Amino acid sequence: MFHVKHPLSFLDDALADLARAGLLRQRRAPVDLARSFCSNDYLGLASEISPAGAAGAGASRLIAGERDEHLALELEVAAWLKAPAALAFTSGYAANVGAIAALAGAGDRIVSDALNHASIVDGARLSRAEVVVTPHLDVEAVERALALPCRGRQWVVTESYFSMDADAPDLRSLRRACDAANAALYVDEAHALGVLGPGGRGLAAEQEVTPDITVGTFGKAFGAGGAFVAGSDSLVRWLWNRARSFVFSTGLSPQLAAAARLNVARAQGDPSLAARTLQNASRLRDGLAAIGIVPLGFGHIVPWLEADTGRALALSAALAERGQHVLAVRPPTVPTSRLRLAVTAAHGDHDIDALLRAVAECVACLPR
């Protein structure tokens, strides 16, 4: 019977090659930074444990060894997302740039949604793979791109909840397209995790899709900093060896890792946080509709288009005069100017209502 290989199975061979050549880097026991002659903790400050825990990792994790805070965070995030393993990075930007460039290479093809975040765009450029940018959310365009001849591997990269349009791809169809072409599916859940999907586990979980690679950040819903890549054990071992933003950079601050861990646990343990965020989103979306503004998409990011950039800026300024911090997002960040709101669980009904009153006033005093 013809057997289709898993799109990431090449990693096992590549890891075995590294091991044979004596070049495989593996996780190691934590190094005592105060006694180590390998750290970059030149003034000995990272090894001073403050009441809040060690602030600095002291060196790249390949050198400084495994810290309990990193390992615990990675195990818990992987378990939460039902992924075999996860690896913490210092930021979502570093995660995408490092992971994409470590996985894809010359001869490969990356199929990338037109609105993917800059860190995905930069990772794809660094990889030296052919990059096919497909129109936003267009699954058929992805299928057409995957059907073109390719001598290497194929990767489909998308966000799960687009932060400027508040919309989401059909991940099931993308998964099917990837499976049909033996391509790997890479999903960045930066803006979804913690809020959207069952228990805040994101939109892949909501659509019952298992990406080959999942990225999430701790700097958004989890209110800390840093990020992770989750997937198979081989994926994580490969990134440990080959993701340049991981290998050649000081590890995530153990203090931040501890804060991220605490907040992931809080988000997991208290579903009322995500529920409140989404209730606030509904209140804001309904209120905007009542004053004639149709917001894009769904969920806690609430943008609306103001194609006239001057008017978008004037609205933002008028809202600022009323004490409301609402950013106008303009080209080249987005193709069409917009006002972009995002609600949080910390907002109360009175905050949303005050914002709505201010928006109504500003829209009335700045007629089109």
Binding residues for ligand PLP restricted to 346-365, rule: CB under 6 A: none
Q: How does DSSP classify residue 4?
A: P
Nearest to 79 by CA among 272, 268, 274, 270: 268
What DSSP assignment string belongs to 152-202? S-EEEEEESS-TTT-----HHHHHHHHHHHT-EEEEE-TTTTTTSSGGG--
Is residue 237 involved in binding ligand PLP (CB under 6 A)?
no
> Applying CB under 6 A, which of residues 227, 257, 301, 341 lies at the interface with ligand PLP?
227
Is residue 85 involved in binding ligand PLP (CB under 6 A)?
no
Q: How does DSSP classify residue 133?
A: E
> Applying CB under 6 A, which of residues 217, 232, 234, 337 lies at the interface with ligand PLP?
217
Q: Minimum CB separation from ligand PLP for residue 58, in Å?
A: 21
The answer to whether 82 is a known catalytic residue is: no
| Active-site option among 12, 36, 40, 361 | 40
Is residue 160 involved in binding ligand PLP (CB under 6 A)?
no
Q: Minimum CB separation from ligand PLP for residue 118, in Å?
A: 8
Is residue 119 involved in binding ligand PLP (CB under 6 A)?
yes
Structure-token pair, residue 271: 């579903």
Is residue 56 involved in binding ligand PLP (CB under 6 A)?
no
Do 204 and 178 form a contact (C-beta atoms < 8 A)? no
- Identity at 61, one-letter amino acid code: R
Query: CB under 6 A: which stretch of 88-96, 235-243, 246-254, 291-299 binds ligand PLP?
Result: 88-96
Residue 223 CA: distances (Å) to CA of 146, 158, 165, 292, 365: 37, 23, 22, 33, 36
Is residue 91 involved in binding ligand PLP (CB under 6 A)?
yes
Query: CB under 6 A: which stretch of 92-100, 237-245, 334-342, 343-351 binds ligand PLP?
Result: 92-100
Q: Give residue number: closest CB to ligand PLP.
A: 92
Do 104 and 155 form a contact (C-beta atoms < 8 A)? yes
What DSSP assignment string belongs to 248-279? TSPPPPHHHHHHHHHHHHHHHH-HHHHHHHHH
Residues engaged in binding ligand PLP (CB under 6 A): 91-93, 96, 117, 119, 159, 163, 188, 190-191, 217, 219, 227
